[in-house]
């Protein structure tokens, strides 16, 4: 019985890892396809608001208590950093930046998390500083010698998005938040609402006629990118070492680049490949150092 339970547990962990690797890695291409018809902020807002409401209603039907006013307020703050600036920046930048390159820039998030942890007294160790400098050198290489050198604005927006996601992730650990999936639901509802407001203020409008490709891409983002992806990630956080749960940070860019090349014809040169290995190596050093 114990052996069966152990094998079943390993199977669930492997399945959750595959979900996080493949589904989160595929979201960058899905965003690029969705942008063929939908404006950036409204598309991201619909994605997270719908996904958040679906999870929220499911949990409430199962009897989980609703969040307090303080938790709604904190969810709005964290949702602003994670989704409005973090994911909203990615979607905005992908109007001009290839999906694989966007994923690679967002892979720097753990590097920013190391820096922001110092605000609450957890300063980087020497190994973390080494990984941080190595990873950022890959960003410089990508921005100066790679494809992103032709789009400095896009590179800056992506770095801002990664930094915002990192700050929100670190800060959320010091705020009163709902537990488990309810936390994700609150953050997605609040962050999605902020994205919808931003899109409306920017004058964005959903077109009367959209392609089936873009609708399918938005559906993929809602179901697999948000609901399944977040659920799998939260499951991993409770079952495996943080280093393994965080390994998506250097697997997703590889998946995104391969999908971009195979399905969208995105060109990846030698500089981009070298930058990918440098950034991923830096992230790996940081994650292993934090585990130690």
pLDDT in tens, the chain (292 residues): 444 556 777 888 889 989 999 999 999 999 999 999 999 999 999 999 999 999 999 999 999 999 999 999 999 999 999 999 999 999 999 999 989 889 888 888 888 888 888 888 778 788 888 888 888 888 888 878 777 777 889 989 999 999 999 899 889 889 999 988 899 999 999 999 999 999 999 999 988 888 999 999 999 999 999 999 988 887 887 777 766 777 787 788 889 988 998 888 887 788 888 888 888 888 888 877 765 5
Kindly write down the DSSP assignment for every residue of 76-88, as one continuous string. Answer: HHHHIIIIIIIIH
Rg (CA), the chain: 19
pTM of the model: 0.88
CA distance 80 to 187: 8
Q: Residues with Cβ < 8 Å from 126, sequence gap 6 or more? A: none
Domain ranges of the chain: 23-291
Name the DSSP letter for residue 67: P
Sign of CA pseudo-dihedral 122, 128, 131, 137:
positive
């Amino acid at each position: 019985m114990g052996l069966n339970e152990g094998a079943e547990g390993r199977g669930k962990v492997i399945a959750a890892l595959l979900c996080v690797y493949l589904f989160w890695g595929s979201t960058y291409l899905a965003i690029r396809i969705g942008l063929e018809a939908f404006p950036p902020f409204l598309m991201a807002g619909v994605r997270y608001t719908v996904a958040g409401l679906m999870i929220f209603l499911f949990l409430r039907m199962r009897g989980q208590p609703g969040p307090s006013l303080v938790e709604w307020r904190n969810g709005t703050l964290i949702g602003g950093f994670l989704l409005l600036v973090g994911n909203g920046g990615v979607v905005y930048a992908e109007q001009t930046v290839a999906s694989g390159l966007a994923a690679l820039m967002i892979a720097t998030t753990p590097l920013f998390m190391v820096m922001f942890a110092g605000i609450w007294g957890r300063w980087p160790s020497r190994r973390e500083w080494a990984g941080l400098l190595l990873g950022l050198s890959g960003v410089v290489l990508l921005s100066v010698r790679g494809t992103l050198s032709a789009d400095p604005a896009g590179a800056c927006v992506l770095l801002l998005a990664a930094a915002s996601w990192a700050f929100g992730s670190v800060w959320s650990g010091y705020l009163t938040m709902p537990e488990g999936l309810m936390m994700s639901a609150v953050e997605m509802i609040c962050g999605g609402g902020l994205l919808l407001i931003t899109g409306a203020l920017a004058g964005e409008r959903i077109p009367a006629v959209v392609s089936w490709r873009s609708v399918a891409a938005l559906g993929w983002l809602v179901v697999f990118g948000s609901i399944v992806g977040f659920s799998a990630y939260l499951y991993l956080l409770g079952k495996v070492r943080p280093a393994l749960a965080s390994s998506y940070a250097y697997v997703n860019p590889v998946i995104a680049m391969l999908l971009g090349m195979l399905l969208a014809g995105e060109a990846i040169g030698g500089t981009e490949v070298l930058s990918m290995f440098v950034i991923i190596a830096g992230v790996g050093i940081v994650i292993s150092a934090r585990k130690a």
